[in-house]
Structure 1
Amino acid sequence: MTGDRREGRTGAASDERWRLFIAVPVTGTAAGALRAWMAVGRRERPGLKWVEPDHLHITLRFLGERPAAEMPALVAAGARVAGAAAPVEVEVRGVGGFPSAERTRTLWAGVATGATELAGMAAGLEHELLAVAPDLDPLSHPFTAHVTLARVRASWIDLTRWPHAVAARERLWGRLPVRELVLFRSRLRPGGPVYTPLHRWRLGR
């Protein structure tokens, strides 16, 4: 597809497996505002496992460990979805928690405007990816567009009793123009995951 770009090292031994996910990177004003909020959050809640500031993204599909030799088929599947989708501007707003604000194990920033369009892309990816990789693990819950900010290391936290989170519950972090989807490889390291972009798909024909 015109506008696609391959990045990183894609050649690999036939038995090599890569941990992959497809996402929309969060950049610009929204990323800056979230990083500032997270900096305060780190000081107030150092026990949480905070996402690295340059790793903010909206995951559309986590693929898990996949054979590296499967890359061409995955790239073709992503191209079909991106080619049928139009660029969209999403609104990153508020903070919340999964499974609930009162018993949060994953802290996130939400997506307001544009959430429906992202859900459509996620559904398209689900269809196309399962067609080329039918052994993909099924989704454990319905897709909800969000930006993961932190994870609770043990037990849970109550966001409704944390003033820093309560004050940001409806805050507008920024508007994010979505013009492409990115296939990332994730390498787990003791200091945290390392993300490498392998392919970028431009939205639209």
Structure 2
Amino acid sequence: MRLFIAADINSRSKDLIENKLNYIKTEIKNDIKWTEKDKWHLTLKFIGESSTQEKENLIKALKNIDFAEKNEYIQFAKFDAFPSPDSARVIYLGLDRGEKELIELQQRLENELIKYGFEKDERDYIPHLTLGRNKGEAFKIKKELLVPNLFNIYARIESITLYQSQLKKSGPEYIELFSIK
């Protein structure tokens, strides 16, 4: 089974993001596969293919972590893209407030998972909410969409969740396996 751990945000904030995103969609004419609102999350750790025993170890590790960030507010303020706005492949919302706290949370998670035999991710962690993926050629995002605080939306972290991701023709399906609310 394909697993990942994510921070989930409240539904009211998702509604506010969706309203702003509707405007963005009219400005971007490229072939984007937009992420469905009910699948929005901030990935903390992608695990990948895992056994039942590894899933159980992930749950044990999650139970050991103090999630002080739960019920805290973060602020989405930056519309951006990976690898860059000049060569957009993944379109996302970045954080203004709460970025440091999520990075620290992700590091605590990494350190706890090492105790259970999981490898540490060596890449820098960038907290973000994926809005869509470019299916065609990389493109340049218009400068007016990159202005600071275009979104300026506060969101509450509602839970930290272990998900199973099942890849389907229609897109990934996320199944909640364990959650700390």
Q: Same fold (TM over 0.5)?
A: yes
Q: Deviations over 1:103-135 (max 9, x none)?
A: 11111101111111111110011111122133x
Residues in 1 aligned to 2:9 and 2:76: alpha-carbon distance in whole angstroms:
9
CA-atom RMSD in angstroms: 2.1
Residues in 2 aligned to 1:121 and 1:201: alpha-carbon distance in whole angstroms:
14
- Partner of residue 52, structure 2: 68
Rg larger in structure: 1
- Partner of residue 157, structure 1: 139
- Partner of residue 160, structure 2: 181
The question of whether the paired residues in 2 share the 8 Å contact of 1:29 and 1:173 is answered with no
Residues in 2 aligned to 1:184 and 1:47: alpha-carbon distance in whole angstroms:
27
SS of equivalent residue, structure 2 residue 16: helix
1:146 to 112, 120, 128: 128
Q: Shift of residue 140 of structure 1? A: 5.3
Could you state the TM-score of these two structures normalised by the residue count of structure 2?
0.87
Q: 1:42 to 1:132 in 2, by over 3 A?
A: same
Aligned residue pairs: how many?
A: 179
Q: 1:39 to 1:182 in 2, by over 3 A?
A: same
- Partner of residue 99, structure 1: 83
% of aligned pairs identical?
Answer: 23
- Partner of residue 175, structure 2: 196
- Partner of residue 35, structure 1: 18
SS of equivalent residue, structure 2 residue 50: strand
SS of equivalent residue, structure 1 residue 122: helix
Q: Shift of residue 173 of structure 1? A: 4.1
Residues in 2 aligned to 1:25 and 1:77: alpha-carbon distance in whole angstroms:
18
Residues in 2 aligned to 1:173 and 1:29: alpha-carbon distance in whole angstroms:
14
2:108 to 124, 127, 143: 124
Q: Shift of residue 70 of structure 1? A: 1.9
Could you state the TM-score of these two structures normalised by the residue count of structure 1?
0.78
Letter in 1 for 2:39: H
1:53 to 37, 40, 65: 37
